[in-house]
Amino acid sequence: MIGRATRKATLEAIERHEKAVRALAAREALLAEARQDLDRALQAGGLGRYTDQRLGSFKLGKIIGRGGMGEVYEAVHAESGAPAAVKLLSAPYLAEPDEVRRFLRETRIVAALKDPHVVQVLEVGGAGAPVPYLAMELLRGTDLAQQLRERGRVSLRFVVALLRQVGTALAAARAAGIVHRDLKPRNLFHALPASGAGEPVWKILDFGVSKLLDAGATVTRDRLVGTPAYMAPEQALGEPVSHRTDLWALGVICYRALTGRPAFTGGGTPETLFQVVHGMPPAPSELARLPAEVDLVLALAMAKAPGDRFDRAEELADALDAAAEGVVSEEVRVRAEAVLARMAWGHAAGRGL
């Protein structure tokens, strides 16, 4: 009796310890994510060097966002007064021919994508403009990163609806031979209708590091680009990318949205990329109340080999929709079990491995 009681007490203590470690790891991951978002938020706002100046048809106002190489200004059309957002290169990059070419390339890419779930381009200022710029529709709403900070995690139905809308934009990009290469919660924007009536729609932002598949070496000189926590293994290894590289990122976004914690985190970029290439996070159903079938679907979405993943976002959405009801097709089950046999989900008590 004493032995059984001791064993029971020991097992309960181990379980409490694992829960505490799991909660601590999740808090650390979310804190790191929040720090990054806060740093970006602090960079936005206020006046910029082009505030109150006119570029093309638009008069620029305050800075509303900054990225790795550009600034985004709130603006209005000089004649009609219609609102817009104008993106232009940050001053340090204007003297770099490669960066100018890269920016102009982004403007061509975004302007060529005609899809309601890609931000609408209003005007492009090319090499003849005082400074290269891209005028776009001004979006009102919130990005997925902000929603996840406020809500922690979201429902399967929410994620499926997001996938179906974002999937049409990725299909348009694929048809144009474009890989985004930097999909993440901050680049998925839930935009309110300009009229104020109707439901918000999801739009993909920032094609600044996208790659044209038929263009060979890009002006980025094929250096490592993207956000480490959402970078596909082939991208992290400097190998060729494809449309399935974006689908990997979409799978990792689903994991973050459904479980409330990032899939891959580390003390720095090398550690995070090591986990992306060689590790797996805990199974989603260990972190949130989700059907076990979701584990199978996301195992395919986050498969290390591109050929093991879904081919289209619509397929991922359909599979998650079925998994919400505790169902997966036999094909998905067999493929997912084969993927997990090669690299299983990690343990919830670990740090993403």
Catalytic residues: 182
CA 64, 70, 74: angle at the middle one, nearest 5? Answer: 25
DSSP H helices, 56-155, are: 97-112, 144-151
CB atoms within 10 A of CB 116: 13
Q: Which residue has the tokens 């932002």?
A: 205
Strand 54-55, strand 188-191: pairing: unpaired
Nearest to 277 by CA among 225, 338, 231: 231
Strand ranges for the chain from DSSP E = 54-55, 58-66, 70-77, 83-89, 121-125, 133-136, 141-143, 178-179, 188-191, 201-204, 211-212
C-beta separation of 224 from 238 below 8 A: yes
Nearest to 331 by CA among 312, 315, 353: 315
Rg (C-alpha) for the chain, rounded Å, is 22
C-beta separation of 163 from 188 below 8 A: no
144: its two tokens = 């997925």
285: its two tokens = 């159903």
CA–CA separation, 178 vs 191, rounded Å? 23
Q: Concatenated DSSP letters for 279-299?
A: ---B-HHHHSS--HHHHHHHH
Does residue 99 sit in helix, strand or coil?
helix
Does residue 218 sit in helix, strand or coil?
coil
CA–CA separation, 241 vs 211, rounded Å? 8
